Structure 1
Amino acid sequence: MPTPYRKILVAIDGSDESAQVLSRAAGVLSGNEGELHLIHVIEPLALAYGADVPMDVTDLQTGLMDQARAMASRYAAQYDIADTNVHVELGSIEKTILDMADKLEADLIAVGSHTRSGLALLLGSTARGLVPGAHCDVLAVKVDQKSS
């Protein structure tokens, strides 16, 4: 009999599809003994747009982090996820998710699968990219673009 999932790291981006990924992850969690963790990764603007950003983007980056924390907290509240299990990180998306999964000793990473909008912008190729480096199972949730 397979071992149940007890610690799941759910990668979200704040789109409508994030709710579907979180719902699926909650559905495979091992009852009351398991715990969900949320992660939202923001790539540094210098990384996303090249190192030659012609202005100081510190305030913009701080604002993005604050917005991401608020968004992640709203998702966490829907599933009674403790604030300590909500992770908003700055870094390379795949590496940051994998590093957090290792740090938490997660036994599953849940991420949205490839779509043409929403999660695809952030997590489309990430689902494929996580598998080779993951030390745990990866659940690629095929999100339904027609529902919210």
Structure 2
Amino acid sequence: MTTKYENILIAVDGSEEAKKGFEKAIDIAKRNEAALHIVHIVDNGYFASVEALAHASIPDYNEQQGKKLLAEYEQAAKEAGALSVHTVMETGSPKSLIPNRIANQVQADLIVCGATGIHGMERLFLGSVSEHITRTAKCDVLIVRNNEENK
């Protein structure tokens, strides 16, 4: 039995892992003639203590960078031949927004994300966004590893 995906959500954050996931998501979207929903979450949780000192300049900068990142990914997806490309940017926790609210909003039947970029103690304390998405999403999830992790 072959599964045909209609709405593919790809989470991007500017990392190499996310870029690999993005490339795979484009291929899957083209094969399935599916809509591609490129999602970026501005996660200001890590900057909470610094934000008070910066008087909201960090959230503004992160939002500008997020818009720029999404525009670049959207253009790349269209140039690669994706038929239907949409972008979503929100502020909050990617661990909860992606598998719950955003996946539901775009009616995702597949979430693609890059393998975590954090290792060791960081993963112990922060947890992996991709790991959390895998555990909580109601649809299929594809975690794309980069070449270094496959060795």
TM-score (norm 1): 0.79
Amino acid at match of 1:64: N
The size of the alignment, in residue pairs, is 141
Q: Is the 8 A contact 2:134 2:141 kept in 1?
A: yes
Q: Report the equivalent of 1:23.
A: 23
Task: Choose 9-18 or 79-88, whichever is displaced more.
Answer: 79-88
Q: Is the 8 A contact 1:112 1:124 kept in 2?
A: no
2:50 equivalent to 1:63: no
Amino acid at match of 2:41: V
CA separation in 2, counterparts of 1:2 and 1:84? Answer: 23
Q: Is the 8 A contact 2:17 2:117 kept in 1?
A: no
CA separation in 2, counterparts of 1:82 and 1:29? Answer: 8
Q: Is the 8 A contact 2:70 2:87 kept in 1?
A: yes
CA separation in 1, counterparts of 2:37 and 2:29? Answer: 11
CA distance change for structure 1 residues 62 and 82 in 2, over 3 Å: closer, same or farther? farther
Alignment partner of 1:85: what SS? strand
CA separation in 2, counterparts of 1:82 and 1:33? Answer: 7
The superposition leaves residues 45-93 of structure 1 with CA deviations (integer Å, 9 ceiling, x where unpaired) of: xx32456854353232112101111011101101116997111210011
Q: Report the equivalent of 1:96.
A: 97
Identity %: 26
Q: Which runs of 4+ in 1 moved over 6 A?
A: 81-84
- How much does 1:19 deviate? 2.2
1:1-148 correspondence runs (5 A)? 1-29=1-29, 31=31, 33-44=33-44, 47-50=45-48, 54-55=52-53, 57-80=55-78, 85-98=86-99, 99-115=101-117, 125-145=128-148
Amino acid at match of 1:25: A
- How much does 1:145 deviate? 4.2
Q: Is the 8 A contact 1:21 1:141 kept in 2?
A: yes
TM-score (norm 2): 0.78
Q: Which runs of 5+ in 2 are unaligned?
A: none
